[in-house]
Amino acid sequence: MEGMELASFQIIAAVGGARSSVMEALKDAREGNYEAASAKLEEANQFLAEAHKGHTGLIQKEAQGEQVPFSLLFMHAEDQLMTTITLRDIAMEMIEMYKKIG
Protein backbone atom coordinates (compact mmCIF):
# COMPACT_ATOMS: atom_id res chain seq x y z
CA MET A 1 0.00 0.00 0.00
CA GLU A 2 1.52 3.33 -0.98
CA GLY A 3 1.86 6.28 1.41
CA MET A 4 -1.22 8.21 0.43
CA GLU A 5 -3.51 5.19 0.51
CA LEU A 6 -2.19 4.30 3.94
CA ALA A 7 -2.65 7.86 5.23
CA SER A 8 -6.22 7.83 3.87
CA PHE A 9 -7.12 4.61 5.64
CA GLN A 10 -5.55 5.83 8.89
CA ILE A 11 -7.62 9.01 8.71
CA ILE A 12 -10.81 7.12 7.84
CA ALA A 13 -10.31 4.67 10.73
CA ALA A 14 -9.59 7.40 13.31
CA VAL A 15 -12.46 9.57 12.07
CA GLY A 16 -14.81 6.58 12.23
CA GLY A 17 -13.88 6.19 15.89
CA ALA A 18 -14.43 9.89 16.50
CA ARG A 19 -17.84 9.82 14.82
CA SER A 20 -19.00 6.89 16.94
CA SER A 21 -17.80 8.62 20.11
CA VAL A 22 -19.65 11.83 19.23
CA MET A 23 -22.88 9.93 18.54
CA GLU A 24 -22.53 8.10 21.86
CA ALA A 25 -21.89 11.41 23.63
CA LEU A 26 -25.15 12.73 22.22
CA LYS A 27 -27.01 9.61 23.35
CA ASP A 28 -25.51 9.96 26.85
CA ALA A 29 -26.55 13.61 27.02
CA ARG A 30 -30.05 12.75 25.78
CA GLU A 31 -30.34 10.33 28.71
CA GLY A 32 -28.99 12.93 31.16
CA ASN A 33 -25.57 11.34 31.63
CA TYR A 34 -23.50 14.48 31.17
CA GLU A 35 -20.27 13.13 32.64
CA ALA A 36 -20.34 10.15 30.32
CA ALA A 37 -21.08 12.52 27.42
CA SER A 38 -18.08 14.63 28.36
CA ALA A 39 -15.81 11.56 28.49
CA LYS A 40 -17.05 10.43 25.06
CA LEU A 41 -16.32 13.87 23.63
CA GLU A 42 -12.82 13.69 25.02
CA GLU A 43 -12.43 10.32 23.33
CA ALA A 44 -13.66 11.83 20.06
CA ASN A 45 -11.09 14.62 20.37
CA GLN A 46 -8.28 12.12 20.75
CA PHE A 47 -9.41 10.26 17.62
CA LEU A 48 -9.63 13.57 15.74
CA ALA A 49 -6.14 14.63 16.87
CA GLU A 50 -4.82 11.37 15.45
CA ALA A 51 -6.70 11.81 12.18
CA HIS A 52 -5.48 15.36 11.91
CA LYS A 53 -1.83 14.29 11.80
CA GLY A 54 -2.17 12.63 8.38
CA HIS A 55 -4.06 15.66 7.12
CA THR A 56 -1.49 18.19 8.34
CA GLY A 57 1.47 16.19 7.06
CA LEU A 58 0.17 16.20 3.50
CA ILE A 59 -0.92 19.85 3.53
CA GLN A 60 2.62 20.76 4.64
CA LYS A 61 4.17 18.65 1.90
CA GLU A 62 2.20 20.56 -0.72
CA ALA A 63 3.03 23.89 0.91
CA GLN A 64 6.73 23.00 0.57
CA GLY A 65 6.25 22.63 -3.16
CA GLU A 66 5.80 18.87 -3.41
CA GLN A 67 3.08 17.86 -5.86
CA VAL A 68 0.57 15.74 -3.93
CA PRO A 69 -1.33 13.55 -6.44
CA PHE A 70 -5.11 13.43 -6.50
CA SER A 71 -6.68 10.45 -4.82
CA LEU A 72 -10.41 9.89 -4.49
CA LEU A 73 -9.82 7.90 -1.33
CA PHE A 74 -7.88 10.73 0.26
CA MET A 75 -10.54 13.21 -0.79
CA HIS A 76 -13.08 10.99 0.94
CA ALA A 77 -10.89 10.77 4.05
CA GLU A 78 -10.68 14.56 4.16
CA ASP A 79 -14.45 14.90 3.75
CA GLN A 80 -14.95 12.50 6.63
CA LEU A 81 -12.48 14.45 8.78
CA MET A 82 -13.97 17.87 8.12
CA THR A 83 -17.61 16.79 8.53
CA THR A 84 -16.78 14.97 11.76
CA ILE A 85 -14.99 18.02 13.21
CA THR A 86 -18.15 19.99 12.40
CA LEU A 87 -20.34 17.27 13.93
CA ARG A 88 -18.22 17.43 17.11
CA ASP A 89 -18.60 21.23 17.31
CA ILE A 90 -22.37 20.98 16.90
CA ALA A 91 -22.63 18.09 19.37
CA MET A 92 -20.90 20.23 22.01
CA GLU A 93 -23.62 22.85 21.59
CA MET A 94 -26.37 20.20 21.58
CA ILE A 95 -25.08 18.79 24.86
CA GLU A 96 -25.38 22.29 26.36
CA MET A 97 -28.95 22.28 25.05
CA TYR A 98 -29.73 18.95 26.66
CA LYS A 99 -28.47 20.36 29.97
CA LYS A 100 -30.96 23.22 29.61
CA ILE A 101 -33.84 20.93 28.64
CA GLY A 102 -32.91 18.59 31.48
Catalytic residues: 76
Query: How many residues in total does the chain contain?
Result: 102
Least spacing, CB of residue 54 vs a copy of itself, in Å: 12
| Residue ranges in 38-77 that form contacts with a copy of itself under rule CB under 8 A | 58-59, 62-63, 68-73, 75-76
Question: How much of the chain is helix, strand and coil, in % rounded to 5?
Answer: 85, 0, 15
Residue 86 to residue 66: CA distance in whole angstroms? 29
Q: Is 98 near a copy of itself (CB under 8 A)?
A: yes
Residue 28 to residue 7: CA distance in whole angstroms? 32
Q: Contact with a copy of itself (CB under 8 A): which of 9, 20, 23, 33?
A: 23
Rg (alpha carbons) of the chain, rounded to whole number: 16
Q: Which residues contact 6 (CB under 8 A, 6 or more apart)?
A: none
Q: Contact with a copy of itself (CB under 8 A): which of 6, 30, 42, 53?
A: 30
Q: Is 89 near a copy of itself (CB under 8 A)?
A: yes
Binding site for a copy of itself (CB under 8 A): 23, 26, 30, 58-59, 62-63, 68-73, 75-76, 78-80, 82-87, 89-90, 93-94, 96-98, 100-101
